[in-house]
């Protein structure tokens, strides 16, 4: 279920959870969300395998943030989840909520997190769990390079990591803490692109830095575009 117009609210999610008990896949864009609606999905959607939620910014105030305990209830109830995406806004999920994700995502293999957490402590709490997580993507989170490197080491099944937007250092040397054989690390520095606005006038937009890290038995690739900087791991 997807609604790019953003007319879905917590009321719709509760009705859906109560009426579609065999649902296995749900991807929804919402303008409003409550812990109650997530708890309801955890109670009823026992067959859910793929859950993706995006909180749009069309409504200025969302009264029931953060969603820590709703996310906890959802993950505790939906034991079959293999894919999990939570794209919120600042304040939508605290470090406590990230800890719940780590603790209750026993079977999740792919995860996308956007604008969640408060500090490095949240990411580290998440990374002490998620035993089967193979692919992690994060956007707009304020984690440091050091925490990202430690998390990559603690996530024992991780095979792929992509981060867009993080607390960047001058040298990125902290990322070398996750170095190991067959683990490639690539950086895309912050850049400024020119786009046309609604009137056709050029507007400069800053694109945040990226981290890409992944396992490859073939070793480091050699076909890097100019925008990519490989970290030399000396393996």
Work out the average pLDDT over 56-76: 89
Q: Is 159 exposed, middle or buried (0-12, 13-18, 19+ CB in 10 A)?
A: middle
Query: What is the reported pLDDT for 228?
Result: 85
Task: Measure the CA–CA gap between 235 and 219, rounded to whole angstroms.
Answer: 9
Handedness of CA 180, 184, 109, 122 (dihedral sign): positive
**Whether the predicted pLDDT of 232 surpasses 70:** no
Highest mean pLDDT: which of 57-71, 105-119, 175-189?
A: 105-119
pLDDT tens-digit series, residues 89-113:
989 999 999 999 999 999 999 999 9
Q: What proportion of the chain, given as a percentage, has pLDDT over 70?
A: 89
Global model pTM greater than 0.85: yes
| Mean pLDDT of the region 149-158 | 97
Q: Supply the pLDDT for residue 226.
A: 81
> Looking at the predicted structure, is the pLDDT value of residue 3 above 60?
no
For β-strands 135-139 and 110-114, DSSP reports them as parallel
CATH of domain 10-142: 3.80.10.10
Residue 11 above 70 pLDDT? Answer: yes
- 42-57 average pLDDT score: 94
Look at 68 and 222; give whichever has higher pLDDT: 68
């Amino acid at each position: 279920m997807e609604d790019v117009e953003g007319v879905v609210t917590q009321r719709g999610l509760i009705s859906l959870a109560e009426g579609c008990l065999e649902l296995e896949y749900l991807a929804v864009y919402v303008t409003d969300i409550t812990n109650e609606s997530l708890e309801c999905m955890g109670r009823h959607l026992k067959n859910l395998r793929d859950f993706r939620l995006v909180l749009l910014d069309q409504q200025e105030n969302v009264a029931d943030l953060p969603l820590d305990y709703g996310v906890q209830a959802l993950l505790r109830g939906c034991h079959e989840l293999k894919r999990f995406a939570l794209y919120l806004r600042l304040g939508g999920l605290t470090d406590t909520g990230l800890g719940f994700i780590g603790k209750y995502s026993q079977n999740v293999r792919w995860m996308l997190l956007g604008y969640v957490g408060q500090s490095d402590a949240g990411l580290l709490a998440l990374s002490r769990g998620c035993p089967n997580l193979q692919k992690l993507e994060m956007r707009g989170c304020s984690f440091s390079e050091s925490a990202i490197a430690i998390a990559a080491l603690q996530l024992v099944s991780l095979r792929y990591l992509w981060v867009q937007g993080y607390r960047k250092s001058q040298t990125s040397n902290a990322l070398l803490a996750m170095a190991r054989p067959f683990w490639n690390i690539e950086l895309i520095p912050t850049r400024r692109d020119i786009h046309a606005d609604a009137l056709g006038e050029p507007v400069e937009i800053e694109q945040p830095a990226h981290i890409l890290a992944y396992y490859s038995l073939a070793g480091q690739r050699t076909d890097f575009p100019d925008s990519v900087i490989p970290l030399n791991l000396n393996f």
